[in-house]
C-alpha cells in the first residue's frame, strides 16, 4: 500500500521542533499541505515566539511543499479558532489534525503547585480538546477526518514525578475512545500515539544512549499511518526507535461473588481477579456492565 496524502490538509500542533516538526515534514513529504503550529515557548510553556513555527513552514516550502505557520496558543479557544480558520481560508478544508503540543512542569505530587498542574492539563488535554472541537464540525460536514492525540507511556503506565503529565496523557485515551465512536459514521477516525523520542522534552529524562536511538523521525511513520486513508480507529499505537507496538485497555474475566459476600473475599482472590487468561477488550464502556450482569452467581469464568 502506497500512502498518499495529496490534496489533504493537515494541522500539526507543537510542530516547531522535535516530534511535531518531524510529523509535519513526514506529512508534507506525502503530499499534505501543512499548517505548522507552535506557540514557541520554552519546555515549560513560557516565553513564546512565533519564529519556530515559521522556520518549519519555510523548511517544508524549501522542499517543495505547501505550508503556513501559526503561533496560536492551543490553550486559547479563540486563538485555535483563528488557526483553523486560517487553514480553511488558505486551502478550503482540514482533513488531518495531529495534537502534539505539550509542556512539562515535572515535580513529585507532594511538591507540585496546583497552578502548574492545571497549566499542564490546559495545554495537553484542553489544548487537544480545543483543536479537535474546532475541526470536528468541518470534518463531519465533509465526511472525512483523521485525528491523532499524543498520549504517553507515562500516562499508560505511570512515571515518577509526572503526575500532571500522566493525568493529561491518559485522559486523552479516554477522549479518543469516545470520539472514535462518535466520529465513525462521519468518516472521522481517531487514534492515539504513544511515542518514545529524543526531544527537548526528554533531554534530561533519558540516558544518552537512549537519546541516540530514539530520533523523532523514527516515530513519524506511525503518524503517517494513522493519518492515511486506511487508518485504524481507536488504536493506541506506540512507536520509538523504529519499533511499533499496540497498547490495550483490557478487562479480565474476573470472578463473581454471591450476594452478601464481603470485601475480604475480594482481597483474598485478587490473583484470580487479576488473571489475564481470556481477558477481553470491550468495544465501549457499557460492555463492562453487560459482562457483569450476565455472570452466573458465585462462579469463576476461566
The average pLDDT across 65-80 equals 97
pLDDT exceeds 90 at position 302:
no
Do the Cβ atoms of 53 and 71 come closer than 8 Å? Answer: yes
Per the residue annotation, which of 144, 157, 165, 248 is the catalytic one?
165
**Lowest-confidence segment of 15-19, 36-40, 47-51, 242-246 by average pLDDT:** 47-51
pLDDT exceeds 80 at position 200:
no
**248 catalytic per annotation:** no
C-alpha cell at 216: 523523532
Q: Is the pTM of this model over 0.85?
A: yes
Give the tens place of pLDDT for each residue, 81-103.
999 999 999 999 999 999 999 99
Q: How far apart are CA 111 and CA 59, in angstroms?
A: 41
Give the tens place of pLDDT for each residue, 24-72.
999 999 999 999 999 986 555 455 567 999 999 999 999 999 999 999 9
Task: Tell me the CA distances in angstroms from 95 to 23, 75, 82, 99, 252, one per residue in order.
Answer: 15, 21, 17, 13, 37
Q: Which ranges of the chain does DSSP label H, i.e. alpha helix?
A: 18-29, 51-62, 77-91, 114-121, 127-142, 153-157, 163-183, 208-213, 220-226, 263-268, 270-274, 286-293
Residues found in the chain: 302
Give the tens place of pLDDT for each residue, 279-301.
999 999 999 999 988 886 544 44
CB-based burial label for 43 (10 Å; 0-12, 13-18, 19+): middle
The average pLDDT across 129-137 equals 98
Beta bridge partners of 98: 12, 148
Element at 100 (helix H, strand E) = none
Amino acid at each position: 500500500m502506497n500512502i498518499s496524502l495529496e490534496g489533504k490538509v493537515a494541522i500539526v500542533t507543537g510542530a516547531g521542533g522535535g516530534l511535531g516538526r518531524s510529523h509535519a515534514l513526514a506529512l508534507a513529504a506525502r503530499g499534505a499541505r501543512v499548517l505548522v503550529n507552535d506557540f514557541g515557548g520554552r519546555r515549560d510553556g513560557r516565553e513564546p515566539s512565533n519564529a519556530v513555527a515559521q522556520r518549519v513552514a519555510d523548511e517544508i516550502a524549501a522542499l517543495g511543499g505547501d505550508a503556513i505557520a501559526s503561533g496560536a496558543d492551543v490553550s486559547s479557544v479563540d486563538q485555535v479558532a483563528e488557526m483553523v480558520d486560517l487553514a480553511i481560508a488558505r486551502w478550503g478544508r482540514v482533513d488531518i489534525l495531529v495534537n502534539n503540543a505539550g509542556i512539562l512542569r515535572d515535580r513529585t505530587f507532594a511538591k507540585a503547585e496546583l497552578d502548574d498542574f492545571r497549566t499542564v492539563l490546559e495545554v495537553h488535554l484542553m489544548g487537544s480538546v480545543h483543536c479537535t472541537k474546532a475541526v470536528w464540525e468541518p470534518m463531519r460536514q465533509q465526511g472525512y477526518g483523521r485525528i491523532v492525540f499524543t498520549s504517553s507511556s507515562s500516562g499508560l503506565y505511570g512515571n515518577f514525578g509526572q503526575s500532571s503529565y500522566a493525568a493529561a496523557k491518559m485522559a486523552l485515551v479516554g477522549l479518543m475512545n469516545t470520539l472514535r465512536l462518535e466520529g465513525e459514521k462521519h468518516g472521522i477516525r481517531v487514534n492515539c500515539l504513544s511515542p518514545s523520542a529524543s526531544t527537548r522534552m526528554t533531554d534530561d529524562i533519558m540516558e544518552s544512549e537512549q537519546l541516540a536511538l530514539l530520533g523523532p523521525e523514527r516515530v513519524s511513520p506511525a503518524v503517517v499511518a494513522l493519518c492515511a486513508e486506511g487508518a485504524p480507529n481507536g488504536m493506541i499505537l506506540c512507536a520509538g526507535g523504529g519499533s511499533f507496538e499496540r497498547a490495550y485497555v483490557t478487562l479480565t474475566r474476573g470472578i463473581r461473588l454471591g450476594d452478601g459476600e464481603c470485601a475480604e473475599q475480594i482481597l483474598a482472590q485478587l490473583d484470580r481477579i487479576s488473571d489475564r487468561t481470556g481477558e477481553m477488550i470491550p468495544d465501549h464502556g457499557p460492555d463492562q456492565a453487560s459482562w457483569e450482569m450476565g455472570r452466573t452467581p458465585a462462579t469463576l469464568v476461566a
